[in-house]
């Protein structure tokens, strides 16, 4: 079973997304901000990370900078965000995100993106 770390400060969105992904066969661990996300990533060793951009304490961009300096730098990261400007997406990709999906998103689109990244090397 593939493991996904979901980092988002919006409780309802985080819980709903986690539940839908679990129903699709993924094991989920949730975090409320980038700091908690980093700690859980080190413990959980996810196969993929979903991360919001706008969060308190440690936003998605700062999370990317930090995770890319660890032994988990190879883990694919999908940024999920309400920020729709091309500059925001470019910054995320430049910092190491593999995909940038704007909110609100369709769960089917998210699952397709997850599958594409998880099966990239197969």
Note the pTM of the prediction, 2 decimals: 0.95
pLDDT at 121: 64
Q: Tell me: pLDDT of 70 over 80.
A: yes
Run of H or E residues at 117: helix 107-118
The stretch 72-81 carries a mean pLDDT of 96
Owner of token pair 């999906």? 101
For 80-122, the pLDDT digits (tens) are 988 778 898 999 999 999 999 998 899 999 999 999 999 986 5
Report d(CA 32, CA 15) in Å as an integer: 11
* pLDDT for the residue numbered 109: 94
Domains detected in the chain: 3-118 (3.40.50.2300)
Instruction: Retrieve residue 34's tokens.
Output: 């980038």
Instruction: Yes or no: say if 27 and 69 are a contact pair by the CB < 8 Å rule.
Output: no
DSSP assignment of 9-31 equals S-HHHHHHHHHHHHHTT-EEEEE
Mean pLDDT across 37-49 = 97
Q: How far apart are CA 84 and CA 67, in angstroms?
A: 23
pLDDT in tens, 11-32: 999 999 999 999 999 999 999 9
pLDDT at 88: 87
3-state secondary structure of 73: coil
């Amino acid at each position: 079973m593939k493991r996904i770390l979901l980092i988002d400060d919006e409780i309802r969105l985080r819980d709903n997304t986690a539940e839908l992904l679990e129903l699709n066969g993924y094991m989920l661990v949730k975090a409320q901000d980038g700091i908690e996300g980093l700690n859980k990533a080190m413990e959980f060793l996810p196969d993929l990370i979903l991360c919001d951009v706008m969060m308190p304490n440690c936003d998605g961009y700062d999370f990317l900078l930090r995770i890319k300096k660890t032994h988990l730098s190879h883990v694919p990261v999908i940024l999920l965000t309400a920020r729709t400007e091309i500059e925001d997406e470019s910054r995320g990709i430049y910092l190491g995100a593999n995909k940038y999906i704007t909110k609100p998103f369709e769960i089917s689109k998210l699952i397709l993106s997850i599958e594409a990244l998880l099966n990239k090397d197969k």
